[in-house]
Every structure is written in C-alpha cells, then in structure tokens.
Structure 1
C-alpha cells in the first residue's frame, strides 16, 4: 500500500505498504517446495484437537475460524493458492481473508478460478484488504481511485466484506481530517451495501492516538462517531489494539487515558463483524509493549476476549476470527499452531 499521509508515522506507512499486496519471489516447483516447507510440527489438526479437550463448549464459534493470507504471502507467491488452501483445510480453517489476488511466480489466476479453489477446499472467502487511496496514481487499485473495480472484484469472489487496512490518514491527523476520511468511508460503505457487502476498516495501533489539533481527542473515537454504523464496519486487530493501550494510554501531556479494546467491541458489537487474532508477549522495554509471537505463545487472553464477544447477540456468535502474524518464522507452522490453539480453548474456564 502507498503512504497514506504526510503526517503519517513512516514506520506504519511502511507496514501498510506491504498489506495490500503479495510479494513475488522466485521458487522451485510447488510440489517440491510444499513438501520441504511444512515441518513435522505443522502436522494437520487431528479430530481431538479440532474438538478441544476437557469439558465445556468451544470458545471458537464453529465455522468461523479464518486466516489473513498476508501471513502466508511467502507460500502464496511461490506455491500458489491451491497448495496453500489444501494445507489450511487440513489445519481446520473455515475461511480466508485476502491480501491480494495474485500468486507471484506460481502463475496467473483468474478471480473465477480463485473463488472455485476456495470452494473446492471448503474455505469461505470472507473479506479482503484493499488500499484506501493513492492520490499520486489516478489509476491505482484502491477505494478512492477505483471503487467500482474494487467492488466488482469482491463481488466476483463472493465476498461478504470488503475493507482496507489503511488508516484514515488521507487528510492528516486532525479531527477535521478524520471527519473527511469518515465521509470517504461512508461513501464506500454505501456503495458496498448496494452490492450486498459490508465495507470495513482494520486498525493498527496509531488509530488510537490523539488528534494533533485536539490532543485530548482520540482519533479512533472520531472515526466511530463520524461513520454511519449501518455503512462502515470495523475489523479490530486485537494485537494492535493492545499495543495502542500500551502506547496511547496517556494523553500527550501525560494525563492517564486508559481504555480497554474489548469494551469498544462490547459497546457496539454489530460494528465488529471481523477480528484479527494475533498474539504478543509482553515486553515493557519494547516500543509497542509487546513482541509479536504465534497465536497461543503470547499474553493476550483470547479465551476471555472471544468468550465475551460470543455472549453478545444473545449468544448467536455472529463474528469471524482471522488468525494472523505479520512475519511468522514459518508460515505453515504458524497457521497450524494457531488453529490448534484456538480450537483447544474451552468455555468452562472463562
């Protein structure tokens, strides 16, 4: 993704620049690489693991475990979607969220073929990340520059959700700048709704920072207040929300400004159809307060978080949970471990 604002954190901009596309890497044949890429620790999920252990129902809603394919970009760009989908099906995944529709050196693929591949492997394409804007490129593949094309592609894939991982920084970090971005999002949300889809925005930590012109106003609160809840939805990246709790738990003048990511969701559960489940090991010496690790290896209490969200909507469990790691040591092993851990969580201890 392109840099979204002159006022934007350059490190965040670099991070976002990687999210709307899959890298291209040279590789050997798919079959050979697949055999070499999956270590013994990444064996398929067994039936016992899929059911979990002990008494009590599963915390993870049935049929709602997905994975953000950005976490597997190395495999997609060399092996292609088909071998990746086959592995995800073995690991017990139900859904996939796209971060691009190409497969690098594995060769060209059409949207119709991609949709069919997902279906053939029992995977539901639930959403996709697309750039918010690229004002330096009128023909860019983004919501701002190419809205109808973005929606055409999402519709061709049968997506129920289409969103962006770009922050609302297009017009700066002021309250008025975020109000203008909210107007853009309302426009995209209305267009998506006409197609039977929901538009959503995925957060990083910086969305919870404070406005440069009104340092007591949290920008995320502006986004929530200025977007129409019937048109604009949120995908909470739980890890980055906890990072924000660490980084932006005080106003610029040092006044405490604590917040709980879970309470944002519980106040408006209908606005959060999607979540990113990534984990972090607490490290107060790090800038973010956490070191990103595989799901289940960190300190974020997903049993508590998912269980609390499940209790909204009268227990209907209307939400979707996408495992993710920005830079896993071994992406198939990460995918396998994340599924096994999340399937093992049981309600009895919640």
Structure 2
C-alpha cells in the first residue's frame, strides 16, 4: 500500500491534524452535491489522488516546517479478537498456527498491535485442562506489552457489576457490547434504553471506565416517531432522525460512549437513505459517518477499522476486505475527525477466519491489515 500524504493547509488544519469546520464540511458526505460540483472528492469514495502531488510541483516545497507522523499512533492500533476467533477458540493442533490466548496474543504483539478488544474470555479447555481466568489473561497481556481497550459482552443490569469486575482485572478503560441498546425502531424503546444505559454508565464511571455500544447498520436507520398510528397504537412515520443519533441526545455524555464500526456506518449510508415524513412524503437523507463523529467527538473513543469493497449488487452495498484493500477512505475519515491520540482504531474483519482448510488465514490477514493501518500518515508541524 503506497504511503498516503496530504497537503497541509494552515488555514484549515489545526496543529493536531484535525480539520477545521470549514474543511470538515467541504469533506462531508452531506455536502456531496456541492463539493462534487467543484470537483472535490466525495466522502466514502476511494481517493488515489490523496498521495499525489500536483503535476509539475515540488513535493517538498513549503514542507520544511512539517514532519510526517502516523495518522493512527502506534499505541492506538488495536484488534478485536473476533477477527481471529477461530484461533482463540482452537484446540491444540499440529498446524503450527498459534491457538488460545497465550499464543495468539503473543503473535498479535509480534505483528505490532498494542491494544486488544475482547469478544469473550474463554478458550478451549484442552489447553489448560480447565477454563482460563481473567487474571491469567491479564498476565498474558502484560507479558506481551498489550493493553485491553474494551470488550464486547452482553450488557445486562443483573450481571453488570460482574462484567465490571472482569474489565477491572483486565485493566480496561472501556466496557462495551456489540449489540444495539435496543433493536426497536420506536422512540419509546430508545427512551427506555437510554434510562438503563445512563444508570449503567454512571456505575462504570464510578469505577473508572466508559460504557460504550457498537453499531451495525440498523442503528443508523430512521426512528419511527411521528405520523398516524397503526392498529397497535404505534406511530408509522419518521421525523428523519436516526435511531442511534436520537440515543446520543437521550444519554448523558459523561456516562455513555460509542464505538463506530466504520464499515457498518458506510453500509448504513448505502441502505438507509429514505423515510416517510410526518406528512406522508418520501424524503431522502444521506447518512454522514464523518460528521456524526465530529459533531460529538469525545463520545467516540473507539472505532472498528473495518474495510469493504463497494458492491452495489449486494444487499449491504459492500463486501468486507482486509484493511487497505477496500474502498473506504480511512485517510480522509481519521484525518478529518482528528484527536488522533484520543482514539483507538481496532481492526476487524468478520470473514477473516479460513476454517480448517486455511488455519493461518485470520492471523495472516491481521498482519496485512496492521501494516496497511500503520501506513496511514499525516503532516504535522515540526
């Protein structure tokens, strides 16, 4: 993957690489028509020109006061273990491919990953003759210089303190779930979920952690919150607000946080474009992943850096790929949202495991994706 470079504009880019609101709007998908009219790249499209200087120009001209830095700082490059779940859960075998927490985490550290997001805390009992404990996992992390930055567990008030105990043992700053706060389209259900999450988020904060939820595409579909009611008494139309964005406003920013899965956010942009407004008129609204983050920046400490190739023939409009092999413009995404030292980018690819026919596939793709993630760069003042 060629090293991408961006020109530095001191009028629109702040010292930490965050783009100003003026530049942000120019880059946003919501401004697609306007920026397309003046020939600028539209959000969500591949941008091969990002690394290219203008024809005939000196690529080093005016850059004496700049330095090249990683767009994703080394200490913030992570992986969710769901991507290599086949090897975490594997029983001992003679394939030579690492299995279980001790061997797989050692390999991920060798690749270069610094942060781990968990997708469960169990492995094959054939490895130790029993189940591994959170304390034993913590030792493996420490031995390999790894940090647990989050997890995907079931968020349930009755077991929440137990999950906090595990997270505390593992040294996590964030405790989360891969499920939506509610699968409902209705406002009342999101209100009820917000009440629960505000309380659980308060409990997490009291123990030094942030509670977060991870999105798929449905959470960015439109809320059903207006219009005539059906026979069950439910409203049937939408004001145009999206479900998770409504949840942003109903939850306390001190207690409830979010992990954007960037792939699923672009799937949402493809799939959820139209709604019926309170007057019964079909309206079009394009979802903008970049502005969704930028408008509430500190509520997104975690991301899933999951790539995808555009496939309009598929239901989701995209097909998952190793990081750097798809069409999502991560250079634009991460540079525009800024605050690069605040955010953790966890690589994920749901389809990485290769099964018994290719047991090493998921770890091989993890290595390829790490390299491409680390190749993203930014110009900063010296």
TM range (shorter): 0.7 to 0.9
Please give the alpha-carbon distance, in whole angstroms, between the structure 1 residues aligned to 2:294 and 2:69: 21
The answer to whether structure 1 residue 190 and structure 2 residue 202 are counterparts is yes
| C-alpha deviation, 1:173, in angstroms | 2.1
Q: The residue matched to 1:317 in structure 2 has which SS?
A: coil
Give unmatched runs, 5+ long, in structure 2.
1-66, 91-98, 225-234, 355-360
| C-alpha deviation, 1:211, in angstroms | 2.2
1:306 maps to which of 334, 341, 352: 334
> TM-score normalized by structure 2?
0.71
Please give the alpha-carbon distance, in whole angstroms, between the structure 2 residues aligned to 1:87 and 1:306: 27
1:115 maps to which of 138, 148, 153: 138
Please give the alpha-carbon distance, in whole angstroms, between the structure 1 residues aligned to 2:296 and 2:245: 12
Who is 2:177 aligned against?
A: 164
Who is 2:127 aligned against?
A: 106
Q: The residue matched to 1:318 in structure 2 has which SS?
A: coil
> TM-score normalized by structure 1?
0.77
For residues 188-240 of structure 1, the C-alpha deviation after alignment (integer angstroms, 9 at most, x for no partner) is: 10010011100001011000112233423311121111010110000000110
Contact 2:275–2:282, Cα closer than 8 Å, also in 1: yes
| C-alpha deviation, 1:259, in angstroms | 2.2
Larger CA Rg, structure 1 vs 2: 2
Please give the alpha-carbon distance, in whole angstroms, between the structure 1 residues aligned to 2:77 and 2:148: 11
Matches within 5 A, 1:130-141: 130-132=153-155
Please give the alpha-carbon distance, in whole angstroms, between the structure 2 residues aligned to 1:64 and 1:209: 30
Please give the alpha-carbon distance, in whole angstroms, between the structure 2 residues aligned to 1:322 and 1:81: 18
| C-alpha deviation, 1:336, in angstroms | 0.2
For residues 231-283 of structure 1, the C-alpha deviation after alignment (integer angstroms, 9 at most, x for no partner) is: 00000001100100111122246411112101111111100000000000001
Give unmatched runs, 5+ long, in structure 1.
1-54, 133-142
| C-alpha deviation, 1:56, in angstroms | 2.1
Please give the alpha-carbon distance, in whole angstroms, between the structure 2 residues aligned to 1:343 and 1:144: 38
1:224 maps to which of 248, 258, 269: 248
Q: The residue matched to 2:74 in structure 1 has which SS?
A: coil
Who is 1:211 aligned against?
A: 223
Please give the alpha-carbon distance, in whole angstroms, between the structure 1 residues aligned to 2:209 and 2:343: 15
Who is 1:7 aligned against?
A: none
Instruction: Pick which of 143-152 and 218-227 moved more.
Output: 143-152
Please give the alpha-carbon distance, in whole angstroms, between the structure 1 residues aligned to 2:312 and 2:127: 41
For residues 174-201 of structure 1, the C-alpha deviation after alignment (integer angstroms, 9 at most, x for no partner) is: 0111111111111110010011100001
Aligned residues: 280
Please give the alpha-carbon distance, in whole angstroms, between the structure 1 residues aligned to 2:349 and 2:216: 13
Who is 2:192 aligned against?
A: 180
| C-alpha deviation, 1:158, in angstroms | 1.1
Contact 1:179–1:222, Cα closer than 8 Å, also in 2: no
Q: The residue matched to 2:309 in structure 1 has which SS?
A: strand
Contact 1:127–1:160, Cα closer than 8 Å, also in 2: yes
Indicate the structure with greater helix content. Answer: 1
Please give the alpha-carbon distance, in whole angstroms, between the structure 2 residues aligned to 1:217 and 1:76: 40
Q: The residue matched to 2:163 in structure 1 has which SS?
A: helix
Please give the alpha-carbon distance, in whole angstroms, between the structure 2 residues aligned to 1:210 and 1:144: 27
With a CA cutoff of 8 Å and minimum separation of 6, indicate the structure with the bigger relative contact order: 2
Q: The residue matched to 2:336 in structure 1 has which SS?
A: helix
Contact 2:111–2:367, Cα closer than 8 Å, also in 1: yes
Please give the alpha-carbon distance, in whole angstroms, between the structure 2 residues aligned to 1:62 and 1:86: 17
Who is 2:114 aligned against?
A: 94
Contact 2:268–2:287, Cα closer than 8 Å, also in 1: no
Contact 1:164–1:201, Cα closer than 8 Å, also in 2: yes
Q: The residue matched to 1:298 in structure 2 has which SS?
A: coil
| C-alpha deviation, 1:123, in angstroms | 0.7
